[in-house]
Structure 1
Amino acid sequence: MNRPQFVFRPNLRDPAQRRAWQLLQAQPAGERSAYLAACILKSDDRAAVQKELRKVLKEELGKIQVTAVPAEPKPKKAVPSATLEFFSALQQDAPE
């Protein structure tokens, strides 16, 4: 039985493919197939986990009822008397 072959010819103008090529080249020559297999399996596992997580979150968030709570009005702060006196003094000294 012949082993199946896979040929990877990256487009080095594409940043993602260039990065993938660099990572593949950084692996020892005898371990590149194992590296590719591990990457593919990890990607598939991640996709499965994301799918399951989305399903669980959708179910759980569907049970939650969101209601808007009106904001409490902020109490108005009194203007300090020193500030009022300052502005009053400015108005008295202002030229007409």
Structure 2
Amino acid sequence: MKKRACFSFRPRPGDPEQQRAWEILQTVPEGKKTAFVAGAILRSREEEALEQTLRRVLREELRTVSIHSPAGEETVPGQMLDFLAGL
């Protein structure tokens, strides 16, 4: 006979993030909490993987991009920067 895994969640009173999670969990109907928690864990992993992929793609693309100031835009003179730095 297989034994089912058991998990309990006891939020710490001084942890606002855990308290918020507990409040959200209390809005889930009885009998659906396990599915809710499982879905939340899986979505979290999917979001992490998506974020890593997005960061990798952006890094690769940014390697080939060069950024220039718009044509006709004036630069700030060094004397003005020195004056502002002295304030």
User: When the two structures are superposed, what TM-score results if normalisation uses the length of structure 1?
Assistant: 0.69
Instruction: Give the partner amino acid of 1:71.
Output: E
Moved more, 61-70 or 23-32: 61-70
Give the unaligned 5+ runs of structure 2. Answer: 76-87
Aligned residues: 73
Bigger CA radius of gyration: 1
Correspondence list, 1:1-96, <5 A: 1-68=2-69, 71-72=73-74
Q: State the 1:14 CA deviation.
A: 1.0
Q: Which runs of 5+ in 1 are unaligned?
A: 74-96
**Aligned-residue offset at 1:2:** 0.3
Report the aligned-residue RMSD: 1.7
Identity %: 40
Which runs of 4 or more aligned residues in structure 1 lie more than 6 Å from their structure 2 counterparts after TM superposition? Answer: none
